[in-house]
Structure 1
Amino acid sequence: MLRFITTNTQTNSVLLCLSLWVLFLSICIFGTTPRFGAIGRKYGRSANIQMTTKHSFIHKLYHFNYRPESYETFQQKYVINFKYWGGATVRAEASIDGDVAGIGFLSDSAPQFKALIVFMEVNVKNRTILLASWFRLKYPHIAHGALASSAPVLYFDDAAPEYGYLSIVSKDYRETSKSCYDVIKQSWSVIDSVASEENGLAILSQKFKTCSPLNKSFELKDYLGSIYTESAQYDAPPKYPATLICNAIDGAPRGSDILSRVQSGVVAYKGERNCYDTGEFSRPTETDQGWRWQTCSEMVIPIGDDGKDTMFQASPFDLKNFSRSCRSRYNVEPRPHWILNEFGGKDIKLVLRQFASNIIYSNGLRDPYSSGGVLESISDNVVAITTDKGSHFLDLLPASSDDPKWLVEQREAEIQIIKTWIDEYNVLRMIQTSKAHRWAR
């Protein structure tokens, strides 16, 4: 997902053709991984989005080739919020396929910048991707700066640890409760053992109250794995879902077996239900299909697990099998090296120090995707901000009275950096204007 701020006062017609100086903010909420199903937002906060108007215009589908299908069109949607605008800064959010009300950073900070807020749809095979820093690098004449929040720009090829994502999920749970971590780690082999027995799948179906009878143990394990990854990725105050699950596992009645404890964690996370849909995370919605196509083509994220330092069973990423699946599903051949060749990443510090500026990489270290993030500042104006207790996308959520001090300070630091960028730009514009006036005389 993508957000931007402009320091331009041009009209909406200019906004539509993106002839702007912009400051992008990005979040990576695509949640889906090659192993697990789609992971959605779990925060439930809403920002003040009063005084908004909705618009659309006809847009060309593709911009980078001349094939006939590239000239197909779609309705580009955008929403404008005039509430805080004082005729200067313009901030915009894309995409509208997400929850506009869930983006608080823009509306919370807009008053001090007197900013117009624009929410724009980004259509990338029906799915948004981590665009902010890449847009700044590729179009520096348009994007004046970028705040890339929770963006795993290094989680490609071999630039980041292959097992990083699931290692951090496991670390989150181990730090929450070692006994809970141990129960989860042991549960996989117990599930396989029960499933191998006569009527074992029926026993598991009954134990976990599945909405449909299990056909294989993987269906249950995939469901549980998705719960654990989602709860770790969005382990945010005030609910802290990983803690919620572990409290239920550790608090199960004395003498409860491993599967009973795991089932208690499911109930704590999902709530009391008549049945639990094990296909909830993997059902191929239109959005999921779009994201899966993207990971099968340009954004190959090699998430795997060796089973040694995590609470999961071994499941290494296999590019050959992954490619075979992509060819079968979409008739497309993955390009695992393309992203890093296009935007750099093999030696990110050297690359960005040479030509990048005005980028903030913010990461919460409890977010599994932080294993593919930029965690150290590269220069004075390519800055990394990390928080030990932060989770995915947390800094861009609406402010709340429950926010811990470190989160408040993180947002304040980001705002101050952005303010510096805008001030520097305005000074340069004043100097340029002054020179133009002198020449005009």
Structure 2
Amino acid sequence: MRYFVCSPENFNPTNGSIFFYVGNEADVTLYLNHTGLMWENAAAFNALIVFAEHRYFGKSVPFGLDVLDHMEFLSTQQAMADYAVLIEQLKSDLSTDVPVIGFGGSYGGMLGTWFRMKYPHIIDGIIAGSAPVVNFFGDPDHPADTEAFNRVVTFDMSEDAGAAKNCIPNLRRALNTAVEMSRTKTGRKELTELLRLCDTDSLQSSDDVISIASEAYGDLAMGNYPYPTSYIMDGKVDLPGYPMRAACEPFAGDFGDDKTALVSAFRESIAVYYNATKTESCFFPAAPVHTINESDTSDAAKQVRIDHKGNFWGYLECSELYMPMSSDGVNDVFPATAVNESQDDAACFEQWGVHLKPRWAQTEFGGMKALRAASNIIFSNGNFDPWSGLGVLESLSPSVVAVPVPGGAHHLDLFFTHPLDPSAVTEARKTELKFVRQWIDEFYAFKQEVTATDL
């Protein structure tokens, strides 16, 4: 496991702390470079900063080119055990016992929540930003709402979120038009030209149209930050400030019955995401075709198979963390699409060789009932973030606290401060730091009490 230990100049072994980033499904340097809440406040808490990388991601991929033969070791339980062992080893190396405060966003916030619940003797509290921990099937206290994500994506396209007035109705018409065109060979050919797709085989069905739209608008909603940043684009290229507003501008006018103009506006809209570099002349260049020969054991063949699988997050979705999304076409902008468990199960088995476990996360982590019995967890959620609909939005106890972030997108509160931050983000950070101070004070008060008792 790769990890980074930072800011040793701030650390005080007698009254300090450890700020621990709970790594999630990407190269940990992405979080190291964006989690300003830790960097900007470490000195005030005499904190050592640690960023830990999740196994099977970034440079922490075990078994080298044979990794696909050992996917069973990718799990939330194994990742949490990695972090527990790392923290204990760091404390041993430092010859000190200080409180550990966790920070995590998105899946990192989920993992941090469960880490606190499973290892409360190792981590003293967690700031969980945009953590969708309560949308798994099987929770009697909080039934899964598979349409929540797309409702919030659509909210980001509304006037209330600062977008153009006509964005939602015009985009809905554009998508319905594109879906209708995709149902015939002639329509797909015309649609490919209107959308300027590089590969004439990019569109095979209406599902491809919905997928193109869902990926773009889902990420634009998550990344609907008030200033340009590359975070949602994995640090590769900046999206503009409030990118969903930019994506809605092509739909600001009145298109009448001009279906060609509607689809062209759709192309210009998704270009905010797919052509963020402003250098692409067409979308989705055809990937090189590699014949996958399962009997070929060369290193080159193994790498082709790994690349073909894509991000290993898909394995976790199948094996543990099934969070399907749907749309009703009424309360969201997308054509109605239902959850299909059997289809998803077949896809999981084809891609990863594992069957779907749609209710395992509820069994493993306990849902709302377990969260009510937990302690020292802060759940922050911004109303621009589509994952907020899957998170804890109301406090469950005095120490499991919900912090709303109006005007905030995907864990914006964990980022570095910025002049364009909404005031609600600033207030959320103050609340989070207040609890961090409380948890640290409680740690040392208990330690002093135990020491006095021993005397």
State the TM-score, normalized to the length of structure 2: 0.72
Distance across 1 between alignment mates of 2:191 and 2:450: 71
Match of 2:261 in 1: 257
- Please state if 1:93 is matched with 2:21: yes
Q: 1:309-368: per-residue Cα shift (whole Å, max 9, x none)? A: 2110111111121112222222212222121122212xx2x5433x31111111112211
SS at match of 1:257: helix
Q: Which runs of 5+ in 1 are unaligned?
A: 1-75
SS at match of 1:93: strand
Q: How many residues align?
A: 356
- Please state if 1:394 is matched with 2:412: yes
Identity %: 28
**Correspondent of 1:112 among 25, 44, 55:** 44
SS at match of 2:156: helix
- Please state if 1:228 is matched with 2:217: yes
Deviation at 1:188, TM superposition (A): 2.2
SS at match of 2:401: strand
Q: 1:98-136: per-residue Cα shift (whole Å, max 9, x none)? A: 312122111011111121111111215399653011111
Is this contact kept in 2: 1:136–1:143, CA < 8 A? yes
- Please state if 1:375 is matched with 2:393: yes
CA 1:253/1:162 → structure 2, altered by over 3 Å: closer, same or farther?
closer
Q: 1:394-439: per-residue Cα shift (whole Å, max 9, x none)? A: 1111111221221111111100111011111111111111222x2x
1:196-235 aligned within 5 A? 196=183, 199-213=186-200, 214-217=202-205, 218-235=207-224
- Please state if 1:186 is matched with 2:186: no
Q: 1:143-185: per-residue Cα shift (whole Å, max 9, x none)? A: 1111111110011105331211111111221343341111111
CA 1:121/1:351 → structure 2, altered by over 3 Å: closer, same or farther?
closer
- Please state if 1:274 is matched with 2:278: no
Match of 1:309 in 2: 331
Is this contact kept in 1: 2:166–2:253, CA < 8 A? no
- Please state if 1:357 is matched with 2:283: no
Distance across 1 between alignment mates of 2:184 and 2:344: 31
SS at match of 1:386: strand
Deviation at 1:288, TM superposition (A): 4.2
Q: CA RMSD in A?
A: 2.6
Is this contact kept in 1: 2:131–2:387, CA < 8 A? yes
Distance across 2 between alignment mates of 1:120 and 1:192: 43
- Please state if 1:141 is matched with 2:121: yes
Distance across 2 between alignment mates of 1:285 and 1:166: 29
AA matched with 2:399: N
Is this contact kept in 1: 2:377–2:401, CA < 8 A? yes
Deviation at 1:287, TM superposition (A): 8.4
Is this contact kept in 2: 1:235–1:242, CA < 8 A? yes
Deviates more, 1:370-379 or 1:182-191: 182-191
AA matched with 2:219: E
Match of 2:34 in 1: 102
Deviates more, 1:384-393 or 1:243-252: 243-252
CA 1:298/1:253 → structure 2, altered by over 3 Å: closer, same or farther?
closer
SS at match of 1:295: helix
State the TM-score, normalized to the length of structure 1: 0.75
AA matched with 2:312: G
Distance across 2 between alignment mates of 1:287 and 1:393: 28
Distance across 2 between alignment mates of 1:287 and 1:403: 38
**Correspondent of 1:157 among 120, 133, 137:** 137
Match of 1:336 in 2: 358
1:69-80 aligned within 5 A? 76-80=1-5
The structure richer in strand per residue is 1
Deviation at 1:252, TM superposition (A): 9.0
Distance across 2 between alignment mates of 1:279 and 1:309: 34
AA matched with 2:151: S
Deviation at 1:279, TM superposition (A): 7.8
- Please state if 1:422 is matched with 2:406: no
SS at match of 1:143: coil
Is this contact kept in 2: 1:366–1:388, CA < 8 A? yes
AA matched with 1:171: F
CA 1:285/1:388 → structure 2, altered by over 3 Å: closer, same or farther?
farther
Distance across 2 between alignment mates of 1:314 and 1:405: 36
Distance across 1 between alignment mates of 2:309 and 2:422: 33
Deviates more, 1:121-130 or 1:314-323: 121-130
Distance across 2 between alignment mates of 1:298 and 1:310: 27
1:35-46 aligned within 5 A? none
Distance across 1 between alignment mates of 2:434 and 2:53: 27
Distance across 2 between alignment mates of 1:410 and 1:118: 23
Match of 1:324 in 2: 346
Is this contact kept in 1: 2:135–2:144, CA < 8 A? yes
Is this contact kept in 1: 2:148–2:390, CA < 8 A? yes
Q: 1:358-388: per-residue Cα shift (whole Å, max 9, x none)? A: 1111111221111110110111111010122
Is this contact kept in 1: 2:136–2:359, CA < 8 A? yes
AA matched with 2:392: V
Q: 1:184-223: per-residue Cα shift (whole Å, max 9, x none)? A: 1112221133334563323222222212113424334322
AA matched with 1:426: Y
Is this contact kept in 1: 2:165–2:252, CA < 8 A? no
Distance across 1 between alignment mates of 2:269 and 2:182: 20
Is this contact kept in 2: 1:163–1:304, CA < 8 A? yes
